[in-house]
Amino acid sequence: MSAYKYVSKFWKERNSEFRKLRVSRLIKWRREPSVNRIEYPTRIDRARALGYKRKKGFILARVRVPRGGRRKSRPTSGRRSKRMGVRRITPKKSRQWIAEERCARRFKNLEVLNSYPVLNDGLHRWFEVILVDPFASEILSDPKINWISKPSSRGRVYRGKTSAGLKSRGLRRKGKGAEHLRPSYDR
């Protein structure tokens, strides 16, 4: 097996060694800011599978997103409790898509390539987002990734063009049964 296979197996099996590592990481990550730039991917197998390369122009960030439903202020009058609209208010976007958008707002000159989940606890979820500098000379000269430098790829995360965005918009399905998914909702 290759090294990436062993890393992938470690993340899938989640043995006692993994649990110890998870606890120590969560203690450290809870103290970090919600969007934090990192040097190396936590899950190298997932990062490489999603297009990450260890060269100039590729940047990684870890993003913390809260779990649970959306909070909404309670109306002061004029509704029965069933119609208050306080509980069970959930976003149509996935947590992963929300994490990608928050990361893109933090790093305005970069484009989001993809992201993957890392860990979660009772309150938060952590995702690692792969960002690309579209104006870096290494990116412009690489034929496999220079498509991200085109004007049509600007702000792709806000238009639901990343993998998490396409999934939230229901665009994984095609053909019979998916007639009403296109054009999909954006929010």
Domains of the chain, residue spans: 33-71+85-169
> Model-level pTM?
0.90
Q: Which two tokens stand for residue 23?
A: 């606890």
Alpha-carbon gap, residue 56 to 68, rounded angstroms = 37
33-71+85-169 fold: Ribosomal protein L15e (3.40.1120)
Alpha helices (H) in the chain, listed in sequence order:
3-13, 16-31, 44-49, 95-106, 137-140, 163-168
Local structure of residue 73 (DSSP, 8 states): P
Taking only the tens place, the pLDDT of each residue in 73-121 is 888 889 988 888 888 888 888 999 999 999 999 999 999 999 999 999 9
So what's the pLDDT on residue 81?
85
Q: Is the pLDDT of residue 162 over 90?
A: yes
Confidence of residue 144 (pLDDT cuts 50, 70, 90): very high
Q: Is the pLDDT of residue 32 over 90?
A: yes
- Mean pLDDT computed over 65-80: 89
How many CB atoms within 10 Å of residue 105? 11
- Mean pLDDT computed over 117-135: 96
Q: Over the chain, what is the mean pLDDT? A: 92
What are the start-end ranges of the E strands in the chain?
A: 35-38, 58-66, 111-120, 124-132
Q: Give the position of tokens 């396409």.
A: 166
- Mean pLDDT computed over 4-26: 93
Q: Is the pLDDT of residue 187 over 70?
A: no
